[in-house]
Structure 1
C-alpha cells in the first residue's frame, strides 16, 4: 500500500458538517429510523429484538436500519464516560473571539486540546463556543491564561462555569 492509498483516519463529524458526503442519506431518515434513534439515545445498548418489539417491526428491519444509519454516519453509538471519572469535576462554556482570518486554525487547535469536549463556530457575540472540563479552578485559570492567552488569533475570551447540571440529555 502506498502512502496515497492509506486509509485516512475517520474524524467525528456532525451531520450538519459539509464534509459528510452522505448528507442526502442522513436527511432521508423516516419515522421508523427516528423511533430507533430515540430508543438508542435512551439506551445505546438496547437489543435489536427489544427495539423491534417496542416499535412493532421485525428484528431484521431494526438490524438493517441501524447498519445503514451507522454506515452513512447518521448515527454513532458510543460510550460517553463521565468527566468526573477522570477527575474533571468542573465544566465551563467558553466564548471566544478571534481575528477572522485565523478562525478555522484556532478552532482546529482548540478541538485538539484534551480539555475541550465540544468546539463549534458561532454567530453573534463570539466566533467560537467551546465546552471544556477541568479538575479545579486552578486548571481553569491555567487553561484560559496559559493556553488560550498564548494562542495566536484569539482576541477575547469569556468563561462561564457550570455550577450544576439540571438536565443532560441525548434525546432527539
Structure 2
C-alpha cells in the first residue's frame, strides 16, 4: 500500500501527524505545492484509509488529572465475549486515555489519568473489581509522557 503514496504525501502525513489542525494553506506552503493539490492529496489519503481520526492532545493537569498510570490487567479467561465485554466497558470508564489489548503476560493495559491516589484506588476497587473475569491488576505510574511521531 505504501507504493500508492509519494514523498509529498508522506510530507503531508508527517505534518498532520504532528498537528492535525493545519490548514491546507499551511500544509501547501510548507511542502511547496498548490492548496488545491494539497486538498486533493488529503482527500485521496482519506479515501485510501490512511487517516483513522484526528486527535487533540489535552493538558491533563489543566483538568486536575495530576497522575498518569499504566494499569496492566490480566483476565482469568480468554474468550472473545469476555475480551469484547472488557473492551466495551473499559473504553467507557472515566479517565481512560487509551486501551491496549496485549499479547504476553498481561491481557490489557489501560492508560489512565486520575486526580490523585484516592481516585486511582476508587477506579480499581469500585470499577474494575466489579468485573469477575479480572484476575489481577498491576499499576505503574507514568513520570513523563511525550508523544513522539517518528513513524514516517
Q: Indicate the TM-score class for this superposition, using the shorter chain for normalisation.
A: 0.7 to 0.9
| 1:88 and 2:68 matched | no
- Aligned-residue CA RMSD in angstroms? 2.2
Superposed displacement of residue 110, structure 1: 0.6
Which structure ranks higher in relative contact order (CA pairs < 8 Å, sequence separation ≥ 6)?
A: 2
1:1-172 aligned within 5 A: 28-75=4-51, 76-98=53-75, 99-101=77-79, 102-165=82-145, 167-172=146-151
Across the two proteins, how many residue pairs are aligned to each other?
147
Q: Deviations over 1:75-108 (max 9, x none)?
A: 2333332222221111111111112122221121
Q: How many angstroms apart in 1 are the aligned matches of 2:50 and 2:74? A: 31
Taking structure 1 as the reference length, the TM-score comes to: 0.74
- Consecutive unaligned residues in structure 1, runs of 5 or more: 1-23
Superposed displacement of residue 55, structure 1: 1.9
Taking structure 2 as the reference length, the TM-score comes to: 0.83
- Consecutive unaligned residues in structure 2, runs of 5 or more: none
**Structure 2 match to 1:7:** none
Q: How many angstroms apart in 2 are the aligned matches of 1:27 and 1:112? A: 38
**Does 96-105 or 136-145 show the bigger shift?**
96-105
Superposed displacement of residue 43, structure 1: 2.6
Superposed displacement of residue 170, structure 1: 4.1
